[in-house]
Amino acid sequence: MFVRVLPDQAAGRLLDYRVPECFGDAVAVGSRVKVPVRTRMLTATVVEMLESSDVRGMRDIAELLDEKPMIRPALLELARWMADYYCCPVETAVCSVLPVAVRDGRVSEKRRNTVRVAREVTEEELAALEKRAPRQADALRAVIEAGGPVPVSGAAEQAGVAEGVFRMLEKRGFVVIESAVFARDPYAENFVSSADLVLNSEQEAALQAVEAAMADPSAKPILLFGVTGSGKTEIYLRAIRKAVDDGRTSLVLVPEIALTPQTVERFKSRFADMQEKIAVLHSHLSDGERHDEWHKIHSGAARIVIGARSSIFAPLENLGIIIVDEEHENSYKQDEAPRYHARDMAVLRGHREKAAVLLGSATPSLESWHNALSGKYRLVRLDNRVDDKRMPVVRVVDLRQAARRSPEGGILSLPLKEAIEGRIAKGEQTILFLNRRGFSTSMLCEACGHVCTCPDCSVSLTFHRAAERLCCHICGHSSRAPKVCPKCKDPGIRHSGVGTQKVEEAVKRIFPKARIARMDADSMTRKDAYRETLGAFKEGKIDILVGTQMIAKGLHFPNVTLVGIVNADLGLHMPDFRAGERTFQLLTQVAGRAGRGEMEGEVLVQTFTPFSPSIQFARHHDYEGFMDQEMEFRRQFGYPPFGRMVMVTLRGAMLERAQFSAETLARKLKASAPAGVAVGDAVPAPLAKAKTYHRFQVSLRGPSSVQLSRFVRTTLDSLPMPADVFVAVDVDPLHLL
C-alpha cells in the first residue's frame, strides 16, 4: 500500500511513501503521519491512498500520529477548495482545519498535570507562608479554594503565578501534583435549565421554514432577517433541538466578541440535560482546553458546537444545521491566510454535507441581502420585537454647528451632555459608543461636512501626510491635498480622531461625580475584566459605560435608556466602499442596545455629515431603504457582489523595495490581464505603515473571484520577490486597509 502525503511545510509539494505492514490498515485519508524528507522528519497529512506508485527508491512512513484519521475527507476537500479559491498554499489551508493544539500533538490526550492539597493547611501555616513566599501562598490558596484536583495551568492562571511555584509547594509537602485524566470544561458551572418559550406567530413560521430546510437535503440557505430583539436566538435553539431529536449534530457560529459567558449560558441552559455533549470553542481557551474540546467533537461525543470563526472546521459528522449568528459581522473573515469568510464556508459546507444553513442578522450584509433577493437564499423575516417594544428614537446632532459643540474638547455636544445629565439625575444608565476601528486618514471639513472622495471609485481618498497628497487605493488616482475645503473654502479641513481614553477623560471632567467605566480591547486584557465590568454595569454600579465595538453586540441592559455615538464619521469615511454599510449596521446594532427594558430608549448620533444615507436610514430604522440605495451604488461602480475583487498587499521594511515590487507586480498583472479584469496602480495602502513595515497595494476587479485568484497565483508564481518583501493576497477582501 502507498500513500500520497502533503507535508505541513512543503510549498504544496505532494510526496509518495510506502505504508509498512505494521500499520495494518490504520492509515487512511486524513491520517497525520511523520515522513522522512531528505535528512529531516516532517509532519504531513495523507491526502490519497494509492494502489501503486512508480516513484523509485520510495521510503516508508516513519510514524502514524493518531489511531483515527484526524481530518475527515469532507474537511480535506473543503480545505483544498479553500486553497484554490482564496489563493493560499494548500498545506496552509489543510493546517487551518486542525487547531494548532491538536495538529502538533503536543498536548497528550486528556492527561494533564493536576494539583490538589496534600493535607489540611491551617490559617497559621498560610500566614507564615505568606511572609516567606507570598506567591506560594497565593498559589496554595488557589488550590485550597478549588476544593479538588485542578489542572496546574488553570490554578496558575487563577493565582497569577508561574506553574513552577506549585512544584515548590509540592517540595514543602503542601500539595500533590499528579498526572491525571482531566476533562477541562472552561464553562463548567451549574446551569439552571431554561424551558422552550411559546413562539409568536412570526417565530412559528420562521421555525417551520427552518425545519423544512433541515428535512430537505437540497434546501437553500435561509437568511433570517429579524430586527434586534425579535427572538432569533429562540429559533436557533429550536432548530438545534430538532437536530438533536433527529440524531444529528449542530454547529453554531457567533462572532468572537459575542461569544460571552452570557451567550454560552443561553445555549447551555436550554440543553442542560446534555451538558457534556456541548463543546465551546473560542480564542481564550488554553491549548489543553482547546485540545479537549476538539477531541470531544472528533470522537463524536459532542453533538452541539458553539464557537467563533474557525469552528466552521469543527469535525462534526452528520450535521443537521449550521447557524451563523450576526452573519454580517466582519470578524467572520480571517485576516491571515487562508483569508476565508466563515459565513461563505458555512454555506459551502452545508451544501456539501447536506445540512441546513441558517444565517441570522438584524442587518444582513449587502451580499446576503442580494442573495436573498435573487433567490439564492430563502428569506425569512421577523419584523417585530418580541415584546412589541418600540424601536428607540434616534436623534442626529449636527456637529457642523460649532455652537452645539461643548467647550470640553469638542467630544460631547451640548445636547448629548444634557441628555446624560438627565439620565444621571433619574438613575438611568448611558452607553457612550466610539467607533474607533482603526484610524482616520480621510479629509473632512468641519464647517460643511465635505469629504474628499475619488471621482472614479467614490471611496474616501486617503491622506498621506508626508507627501501632502490624497490617494485612491482602488484605482491609484492621486492629487495634491487641498489647504482649504474644496466646497466651502473653509480652512478647517482636517483629519480627526479621538480614542476611547480621551472620551473617558472628557466625560470624567464633565461629570466628576458619575461612575464611569471604559471597555475596549486595551482595558479588557485580563480574562475576567469583561465579565466583571459588565456585571457591575448590570447591577447599576456604573452610570456611564464608554466603549468600542465590544459593547455593541448582543448585550441586554434594561436600565440603559441612552446611547450616545460620539463620532459617527470615524467609520463612515474610511477609504472603503463598505464604509457606509458598516456604519449603518453599527448604528442599528448600537441603537438596539437602548430601551430593552420597560423604559423607552433614545440614541444620540454626533456627526459632521448628518445628511449621509447611513445615518439617515439608520435613524428611521429603514434597513431596506438603505440597502436599495447602497445596492445601486455598488452596481454603478461594479463593486461586490456585482463585480469581484482581489487585494494584493505587499509589505517590506525597506520602502523602496516594497514599492518597486508592488509596481513590478502591477505592471506584470496589467500586461497579462484576461479580458474583463481591471488592475489598479500600485499605491501606498491607507494604512501605509504598520508594525514598521511599509505597505503597498494592488487591487484587481473582475467578474469571478476564482478567476482573479488563479490569475494572481500564476502571476506571483512567475515573479520572484525579494526575500524581505511579503505578499498577502486577499480574495473577496472585507477590510481594504
Q: Is 333 in the site for ligand ADP (CB under 6 A)?
A: no
Q: Please identify, using beta-carbon distances, which residue of 244 and 472 lies nearer to Zn ion.
A: 472
Stretch that binds ligand ADP, among 50-58, 230-238, 241-249, 532-540 (CB under 6 A): 230-238
What is the closest distance, in whole angstroms, from the C-beta atom of residue 413 to Zn ion in the complex? Answer: 33
> Residue 233's binding partner, choosing from ligand ADP, Zn ion, none, with beta-carbon cut-off 5 to 8 A by kind?
ligand ADP
CA distance 5 to 14: 6
Task: From 268, 372, 388, 323, select the one nearest 627 (Cα to Cα).
Answer: 372
In the shown chain, the binding pattern of residues 234 to 253 toward ligand ADP, with x for contact by CB under 6 A and - for none, equals: x-------------------
Q: Using CB under 5 A as the criterion, what x/- string covers residues 432-471 for binding Zn ion?
A: ----------------------x-xx--------------
Q: How many C-beta atoms lie closer than 10 Å to residue 706's C-beta?
A: 14
Tell me how far apart the alpha carbons of residues 243 and 322 are, in angstroms, rounded to a whole number.
10
Closest by CA to 357, choosing from 210, 246, 233, is 210
Which is closer to ligand ADP, CB of 251 or CB of 687?
A: 251
Long-range contacts of 272-277 (CB under 8 A, 24+ apart): 272/191, 272/192, 272/193, 272/194, 273/193, 274/244, 274/303, 274/304, 275/191, 276/301, 277/301, 277/302, 277/303, 277/304
Residue 42 contacts ligand ADP per CB under 6 A:
no
In angstroms, the CA 712 to CA 456 distance is: 24
Residue among 494 and 556 whose Cβ is closer to ligand ADP: 556
Torsion of CA 513, 519, 524, 528, to 10 degrees: 80
Stretch that binds ligand ADP, among 232-240, 280-288, 488-496, 614-622 (CB under 6 A): 232-240
Look up residue 309 and give its three cell numbers. Answer: 470563526
- In the complex, the smallest distance separating the C-beta of residue 199 from ligand ADP, rounded to whole angstroms, is 5
Residue among 226, 315, 640, 684 that touches ligand ADP (CB under 6 A): 226
636: contact with Zn ion by CB under 5 A: no
Q: How far apart are the first and last CA of the chain?
A: 50
b (16+ CB within 10 A) / e for 331-353: bbbbeebbbbbbbbbbbbbbeeb
Interface with ligand ADP (CB under 6 A), residue from 31, 113, 153, 228: 228
- Counting residues that bind ligand ADP (by CB under 6 A) gives 14
Q: Considering beta carbons, is residue 96 or 697 the nearer one to Zn ion?
A: 697
Among 143, 475, 688, 729, binds Zn ion (CB under 5 A): 475
231 binds, among ligand ADP, Zn ion, none (CB under 5 to 8 A by kind): ligand ADP
Per-residue cell: 100: 494548532
Applying CB under 5 A, which of residues 172, 277, 477, 670 lies at the interface with Zn ion?
477
The CA-CA-CA angle for residues 444, 563, 498, to 5°, reads 35
Q: Is 231 in the site for ligand ADP (CB under 6 A)?
A: yes
Tell which positions 354-413 bind ligand ADP, by CB under 6 A.
386
Q: Which is nearer to Zn ion, 129 or 475 (CB)?
A: 475
Stretch that binds ligand ADP, among 224-232, 406-414, 600-608, 680-688 (CB under 6 A): 224-232
CB 250, CB 317: distance < 8 Å: no
Residue 62 to residue 36: CA distance in whole angstroms: 7
Contacts of 422 (CB under 8 A, 6+ apart): none
Query: What is the rounded distance in angstroms from the CA atom of residue 293 to the CA atom of residue 104?
Result: 16
Please give the DSSP secondary-structure letter assigned to residue 341: B
Question: Least Å distance between CB 567 and ligand ADP?
Answer: 26
Closest CB 629 distance from Zn ion, rounded Å: 20
Residue 477 site contact among Zn ion, ligand ADP, none (CB < 5 to 8 Å, cut-off depends on kind): Zn ion
Specify the residue for cell string 470544561.
Answer: 185
Out of ligand ADP, Zn ion, none, which partner does residue 373 contact, by CB within 5 to 8 A per kind?
none
598 touches Zn ion by CB under 5 A: no
Picked from Zn ion, ligand ADP, none, the partner binding residue 197 (CB below 5 to 8 A depending on kind) is ligand ADP
Decide if residue 230 touches ligand ADP (CB under 6 A): yes
CB of 233 to ligand ADP, least distance (A): 3
Partner in contact with 302, chosen from ligand ADP, Zn ion, none, beta carbon below 5 to 8 Å by kind: none
* Residue 102: Cβ-neighbour burial (10 angstroms; 0-12, 13-18, 19+): buried
Q: What's the rounded Cα separation, in Å, for the pair 233 and 216? A: 22
Told to check if 311 binds ligand ADP by CB under 6 A, we report no
Q: Which partner, ligand ADP, Zn ion, none, binds residue 456 by CB below 5 to 8 Å per kind?
A: Zn ion
User: Binding residue for ligand ADP (CB under 6 A) from 1, 55, 199, 631?
Assistant: 199
Regarding 112 and contact with ligand ADP (CB under 6 A), the answer is: no
Nearest to 329 by CA among 301, 355, 363: 363
Which CB sits closer to ligand ADP, 233 or 561?
233
Distance between CA atoms of residues 327 and 362, nearest Å: 9
Least separation in angstroms between CB 669 and Zn ion: 17
Per the CB < 8 A criterion, the answer to whether 700 and 708 are in contact is yes
Nearer to Zn ion, 453 or 664 (CB): 453
Query: Which residues have CB under 8 Å from 433's CB, separation 6+?
Result: 547, 548, 551, 552, 563, 564, 565, 566, 590
Measured from the CB atom, is 392 or 476 closer to ligand ADP?
392
Nearest approach in angstroms of CB 690 to ligand ADP is 35
Q: Where are the beta strands (DSSP E) in 364-458?
A: 378-382, 393-398, 429-433, 444-445
Among candidate residues 461, 411, 466, the one with its CA nearest the CA of residue 440: 461
Which SS3 state, helix, strand or coil, does residue 650 take?
A: strand
588 binds ligand ADP (CB under 6 A): no
Quick one: which segment of 93-101, 228-236, 684-692, 695-703 binds ligand ADP (CB under 6 A)? 228-236
Based on CB atoms, which residue is closest to Zn ion, 255 or 643?
Answer: 643
What is d(CA 430, CA 542) in angstroms, rounded to the nearest whole number? 9
- Choosing from 472, 546, 586, 677, the residue that interacts with Zn ion (CB under 5 A) is 472
Q: Which long-range contacts (CB under 8 A, 24 or more apart) does 681-686 make?
A: 681/475, 681/476, 682/476, 683/471, 683/472, 683/473, 683/476, 683/478, 684/462, 684/464, 684/471, 684/473, 685/473, 685/649, 685/737, 686/441, 686/462, 686/473, 686/574, 686/575, 686/736, 686/737
Distance between CA atoms of 307 and 291, rounded to whole angstroms? 14
Q: Which residue stretch of 192-200, 240-248, 309-317, 460-468 sits at the interface with ligand ADP (rule: CB under 6 A)?
A: 192-200
| 3-state SS, residue 678 | strand
Smaller CB separation from ligand ADP, 346 or 677: 346
The binder of ligand ADP chosen from 197, 205, 514, 678 (CB under 6 A): 197
With respect to ligand ADP, which residue has the nearer C-beta, 383 or 539?
383
Determine the size of the site formed for Zn ion (CB under 5 A).
7
Selection from Zn ion, ligand ADP, none that 199 binds (CB < 5 to 8 A by kind) is ligand ADP
The residues of the shown chain that bind ligand ADP, judged by CB under 6 A, are: 197-200, 203, 226, 228-234, 386
